[in-house]
Every structure is written in C-alpha cells, then in structure tokens.
Structure 1
Amino acid sequence: MSAAEGEKPLEVVEICAGAGGQTLGLERAGFRHRVAVELDANAVATLRSNLHAILGYTEKEAEDAVKVGDVADPHVWDPAQYSDDLDLLAGGVPCPPFSIAGKQLGANDERDLFAWAVELCGRIKPKVLLLENVRGLSTNRFAAYRQHVLDRLREHGYIGEWNLLHANEFGVSQLRPRFVLVALQPEYAEHFAWPTPNLQAPPSVGELLKDLMGSRGWEPELVDEWVQKANRIAPTIVGGSKKHGGADLGPTRAKRAWAELGVDAMGVADQAPEKGWRPKEGAPGPKLTTAMVARIQGWDDIEAEGGTAALARMDFGWQFQGRKTSVYRQIGNAFPPPVAKALGESIKNALQKAGDAQTLPETTDAVLDPVYKLLRAQNRPMTVDQIMVRLAQAGTVLEQPDVERRLSHLSHDFVMSTQARSNGAIAYSLGEFKAFIGQDDHQRHDLFTQHRARIS
C-alpha cells in the first residue's frame, strides 16, 4: 500500500484521470483514491487493472473506485457521495482548449472542464484542489480566464496559485512543461510550498532506453552508437487525440528534434530492434515502442547513483490496456508520475501542517488582467480611453493596442456587450463567463454529444 504501515492515507477524488500518471504519483505520495473518473474505456481498464495489481486494491475496490463516462454527467457519478472531509480534488482536465498547437478556444471549447472543476471544488469543499494543464494556459491569451479562476476560488474560500513546472526538473527525461493550479483552504495554504526541483539532470534518452533498445538482440555496438547520438532528454511526448489518426511522436518540429536523437518519430514500433536491424533509407534510427515512451514519461522510477552512468530503476509494472495507438495516447497524454508525486508530497505536508506557517503573497488580491478586474468592478460601460485613464490612476499604464488586445481576449471567454457613443467611440461592459460550469442549457452538451467519439 502507498501509505506507511498503520498510517491512514489521505484521500483524493481524481477527475479526468486518464491512464493513471497522476494516480500513481499521488498514491506514491501517500494518497488513496475514493474515486477516479475517466471517459476513455481503455484508460479505465488500465486504471482498474493497475489499482488492483500494482497499488494493492482488491478487485472490487478497483472496480468501484473507477467510474467510466463524462465526468460532468450526473448519471456517471455523484460528487456529493465522495465529498465528506475530502483531502484533495485533483485532475488533468483536457488540454486542447488551451494548447498553443490548437485553436485556443478556451471557454468556447466543449472539452473545457477547468471552470467546471473549480465550481465542483466549491460544491464538495476538499481541503486542496490540484489541476494541471498545458503551458498554453499560462499565456496572455488566458490571463482573464486565470484571473476569473482565482477570483472564483477566493469566493469559494480558497487561496490559489499558478506555477509552471518542468518535468525534467523532477527526474523525467523529457522537456515537458505543465501549468499547475494549487488552491488550498487558508489553514493549509500557509503551510504549502511548491516542490523543490532536483539539482541533478535526468538521464539522456540513450542512457534511459539502452537496455530496452538492446533487449531483442540488436548488436551492442550499434546500440552504443545509438546511445551516443541520443545524448539529450526528449522533446515533449505528444499523445494527440482521436481526431488525428495513428500514433506518432508529434508535429514536424518535434519530429526534427527526435531525428537529432536518432529516433524515427513517424510512428511507434511494436518491438525493439532485433539482430541485423538497420534503418531504412532516410530514417534517422529506430522507432520507440510504447514501453520506451512510458519510461520517458516517468512510469519507471529512475534515480542516478554516482552520476547518470549507473541507474537504479524501479519498474512499476504498469500495464496499459488496448491496442497500440490507444496505449500510446494513454501514455502520451498522462501527467508524469514523478511530478505528480512531488506535488502530492508538497500537498501532504500542507495538509499535515508540517513546518512553520508563512504569510504567502498569494493571500493578497492577485491581478493577472487589470482590464478584466476593472470591467468586472464597473456597473457601466467604458471606452478604451476611459479604461486607460482609470488604470493609470490606479498605477497601471497600458497603451491602447494592449487594452484592445485584452478586450479581444476577453470577448472569447466572456460575454462582452458594446455601446456606440455619440463621438463614435465604443464602450465595453463585461458579462458572464462563457465556460461550462454545469449549466443545463450550455452549448457544451450538444457539442460534446456530437463530438464524443473523437474526444480523448
């Protein structure tokens, strides 16, 4: 079991759990799952089998702990059943609404569940909320979205803070930034500290995968030659979605980065190279298997002993269910377990009030988007010139193009009303948040039903 012998584990409800990257990390940090909810049937099968085989749940406990379906569907699960004295609500809500590689539809994307998760937190009142997403959510495009999230959390009685964490700073051999929100009830917030990055760099792709590359007889000298070329950590593993065909290692830029490491990123192999294997003309080297991708994602616990040349490895034995493409997506879309474990340990310390209490800067009223804050506080429409004057009076100087850009961003995620003044100027007023937070009449219901077969 994850918790020490005789110690009552802290309890977590996990939404959008995927194949269990966050699940494994949190369990290793000492949490036990009351329930995990996931849409994809193969990922559900993966979760249930590993809760039983790896994490010590009985078969019935594993079956009961994982619910399959749309996390926002009240017929799938009843959050109120799991809310009593809950320690942690956690999840990796869908990334496409915020991905730089996508359309960045934000609140207008039927896959956006971030705002819904914040309202769920307000309903079931866990001691801590943990949500993670892609780096795109940290950009200026979503400053008002993030501002609204912090404001809503404050209204629900939480102190929230955003942070960008890099997986390679926590032992993962991959450039994988993740934007993380942690929100705590005040009595625990003063004991929270973000996890400290490792000082030692993770092993290179070659060092990490050497034994797997040579596992089927590929000549040792060729394996060593490949290891020398694969001398850096990996680019971000891209799991992709059901919209975009089979498994490969990402867009053109990522494929070029993989080629520099001697990896053919045009697909995923069924097996490691065998004796006599040589790359086809034009290919930079072998393809990775799903087992190799899983190791890069952190499903093996890697610790360097005396430098990265000697590796102590714990293979958790996590088995993924489904065909190769589904397995690759489950792995590629996951939150790396070592990062989840580090966050879980920091949250556990806060819940146990370990260390001295501190006054945190996030207890002040954070301003991520001053235009949003100003319009939200006003009861009347304001022109761009009026916005600039009011902000300047408050000590924030923005030029006209910046104000107009922020207004454009706001119009994507909030209802924006406009009025034409007699002098031709346009006055703006900010309306309700467009995001799905559980409304019966929200467009998300129709869009989700329409696109469900392609949502992953």
Structure 2
Amino acid sequence: MRSIELFAGAGGLGLGISQAGFHPSMVLEWDPYCCDTIRENQRRDIAPVKSWPLRQADVRRATFSHLEGEIDLVSGGPPCQPFSLGGKHKAQADKRDMFPEAVRAVREAKPKAFMFENVKGLTRASFTSYFEYIKLQLVYPECVAKKDETWTEHLGRLERHHTSGTDKGLSYNVVARVLNAANYGIPQKRERVFIVGFRNDLGLEWRFPEGTHSWNALAWDQVKGTYWDRHKVPKKERLISERALKVVERLDHASHEKAWRTVRDAINDLPDPEKLKRENKILNHRFQPGARSYPGHTGSPMDEPAKTLKAGVHGVPGGENMLRRADGSVRYFTVRESARLQCFPDDYLFHGSWTETMRQLGNAVPVNLAAALARDVREHLKSLELETRVA
C-alpha cells in the first residue's frame, strides 16, 4: 500500500507506518536537521528509511494531484507549536499552523484514508471551535475557503454544508481521540490527539484500537514482586508507591492487560552514561551535564513510564527530559535513552547537537504507537480489497 508522509520530522510516525506495511511515494520535511537525520540513516542503509523518497521542501510548495488514485494513506504531524501547552497558543493565527496544507494534500491526492497527530492542547476549551473547523475541513476537503473569507465564516459554511445532507463530492468519515501512548506499550506517558478518516465511498467502519497495557497491571506486578524479580532488583531497593498499593487493594486478580512499560524496562540494559568513556560505541549515548531539579520539573522515576519528552519553544526545558534516581538525584536522559522512550531502533542515528536531537525526539511520534494505529488502518483497507476480489 502506498502513502504520503507530511511533516516527517526525524521519522517517528513514518517509521511506524512503514513497519505497518505502507510504502511512501513522497516524504516531505523542510527542517534541515531532521532531513540530515533521515539522510544519515539512508546513508547507513537503515531500513525502511533507506528507500524513502525524501524531499526537503516546504509543504506549501508541494503538489499532490499527480498521485491521485495511487495513495492509500496520507499521514503526518502538522507543526504543533500553535496548540502546545508549551507554545504561544496562537492556533489559527500562528503562521506555523500547517493543518490547511494537510487538508490540501487530502483534497489533491484523494487517499483512501488519512491519519494526523497533534498535541493534546489542540482539544482544550480555548481551541474548541478551531478543532471542529479542522475536522470539518477534513470531512469535506473540497469545500475550500473563499478569497477573503475568515476561518470562522468558513466554519459556518462548512457547518451548513454538513447539516444539509446533500454533499456528493469527496468526503471522509472522521474520528478523533486523545490517546495515552503508555496504554499501547510505549514507556512514556504521552497524550496526543489522533485524527483518522476513511473516504466515505469505501463504506468502512472503524474505531481506534483499544489499549493493550495498563497502570493497574503494572501496580499488580510491582506489589506482587514479578516486576522487580524480572529486573533482579534487590528487595531493599524495591520502591513501591502508595498509589500502587491502593490499586492492588481494590483488585482480586491480575489484569488481563499487559503492564505499562517503565523507564527501567526501556533503558535498563544500557550502561550508565556517566561511567562511560567518551568514545563509547553506543550510538547517541553520551552523558549531558547540567541537569537540575526544580518545582514542577523533577524528572521521570525509573519504575514508571517516563513523563512526556519535550522539545520546548526555546530549547529543551531543564527538568522535563531527566531521569530521577531512587536517591532523588537527577541526570538528563541521553539521546539514545530518549530514542528508546520513543521506540526508535537502536541503529537509528540522530544528527546534530544534544539540544537539536532532543528537539527532534520531543516532536516525534512514538514509532510503536504509529505502527499499531497504521496496522489497524491497513487491515481495514485490506479487508475491503478482499471483499472486492470475492465479489
């Protein structure tokens, strides 16, 4: 199945979608550092990026109509700064809002499906109308804003169009949901909104796949000792939270779900970067000095999923991307550890300084979460192909 990847960044969403069985006909990214990361891995013959048709270009100058009829999925993470809690909160007034370009790509390529990701902040109350505007544009991508029409005027016209029930043009059935990556086996509490649509003429029914992992299951494993035994943690070092104890008090059996994956699950086999020589052979695994804890920024404990990795508007926030040890001391996650938390493969090399690579990782979609959603989308599209062949 063929795809278009917009706003590819360092490749997290695209990697997951490729792992799910989609092959990109176009991969677009304008940021030179992100493109350098992808090119570096192409030079190193890393699959699947080695075969990606990467274009370093502004999406606003790209066209997609030549791919009409060939594309099964359009995907991407439009720049999230306009909606991020850590950003300037300008939404539609922010020139970095690229959702109009995502809609245009859908309008021109007419894919069978699309999948877009953005920060949870897009769903907060102050952006309610604009979030609805985004979704309605994706439902009716051919209902384009008129010259000099404001976005609120266009929203009103889309609402009238939607309620008229007379549309016969290109349209999509669209659903959106905030997902916590930890519930899908990602070792990070990362909440993001996903918007998925299927072309209306396909007649497909779809829902977001349910999570496979849970906090309850992790609490059970920690209180009962199986988690600690697996990691060979001495009993005197087993720190069980009051929260976990209270959860298990309410349970009479183990959860049918898998346990949330923790920072320890993700990075325990990596050596302590502070004890490594500078020339260590582990890619991107170098100690970064200067970490400090302050109120509200205390780092991620070893035995829970990490807090959300951040990119930051003005660089990496000092206390966000840190490991908090059992004794209360902190250090920054290395780039490799952060890549593990985002489920990038160990042979994937990030290009640039620590600050720059952490920005790439903070903006990325966890690879395994992207793969889980894209795999489910692909299975539904494949089922349609099977039905067509049988008929």
CA distance in 2, matches of 1:18, 1:71: 13
Secondary structure, aligned partner of 1:239: coil
Picking from 343, 347, 352, the partner of 1:322 is: 352
How many angstroms apart in 2 are the aligned matches of 1:50 and 1:236? 25
Given candidates 192, 196, 207, the residue that maps to 1:193 is: 207
Q: How does 1:101-250 map to 2 (within 5 A)?
A: 101-156=86-141, 157-188=171-202, 190-198=204-212, 199-214=257-272, 217=275, 230-241=302-313, 244-245=314-315, 248=316, 250=317
**Aligned 8 A contact 2:18 2:48 in 1:** no
- Scaled by the length of structure 2, the TM-score of the pair is 0.68
**TM-score when normalising by structure 1:** 0.58
Q: Indicate if the aligned counterparts of 2:182 and 2:260 stay in contact, CA closer than 8 A.
A: yes
Q: Are residue 293 (structure 1) and residue 338 (structure 2) matched?
A: yes
Q: Does structure 2 conserve the Cα–Cα contact (< 8 Å) formed by 1:191 and 1:356? A: no
Q: What SS class does the counterpart of residue 93 from structure 1 fall into? A: coil
Using the alignment, how far apart are the partners of 2:119 and 2:364 within structure 1? 11
Work out whether residues 263 and 301 of structure 2, in 8 Å CA contact, stay in contact via their aligned partners in 1. Answer: no
Across the aligned residues of Structure 1 and Structure 2, the Cα RMSD in angstroms comes to 2.7
From the superposition, tell whether residues 203 and 23 of structure 1 become closer, same or farther in structure 2 (CA, over 3 Å): same
Q: Structure 2 matches for 1:370-381, cutoff 5 A?
A: none
Three-state SS of the structure 2 residue aligned to 1:99 is coil
Measure, in 2, the Cα distance between the counterparts of 1:18 and 1:44: 7
SS of alignment partner, residue 183 of structure 1: strand
Which structure has the larger Rg over C-alpha atoms? 1
CA contact (8 A) 1:29 1:342 kept: yes
State the one-letter code of the partner of 1:180: F
Q: Which ranges in structure 1 are unaligned for 5 or more consecutive residues?
A: 1-9, 219-227, 264-278, 301-314, 358-456
Encode CA deviations 1:103-125: one digit per residue, 9 max, x unaligned.
Answer: 32111000001133113212221
Q: Give the match for residue 365 of structure 1.
A: none
**Structure 2 counterpart SS, 1:133:** strand
1:83-142 C-alpha deviation (Å, 9 max, x unpaired): 342111111011111112323211100000113311321222111111100001111222
Residue 331 in 1 paired to residue 361 in 2? yes
Runs of 4+ in 1 over 4 A off after TM superposition: 215-218, 354-357
- Decide whether aligned partners of structure 1 residues 237 and 352 sit closer, same or farther in structure 2, where only a CA change above 3 A counts: same
Shift of 1:213: 3.4
Structure 2 unaligned segments of length 5 or more: list them: 142-170, 213-256, 277-299
d(CA) in 1 for partners of 2:42, 2:210: 28
Distance 2:376 2:127 in 1: 26
Q: Which amino acid is the alignment partner of residue 54 of structure 1?
A: I
SS where residue 383 of structure 2 aligns?
coil
Aligned residues: 290
> Offset of 1:233 from its aligned partner?
1.3
1:235 CA displacement? 0.6
In the aligned structure 2, how far is the partner of 1:150 from the partner of 1:323? 37
Structure 1: how far apart are the matches of 2:77 and 2:21? 19
Contact residue 5 and residue 28 of structure 2 kept, 8 A:
yes
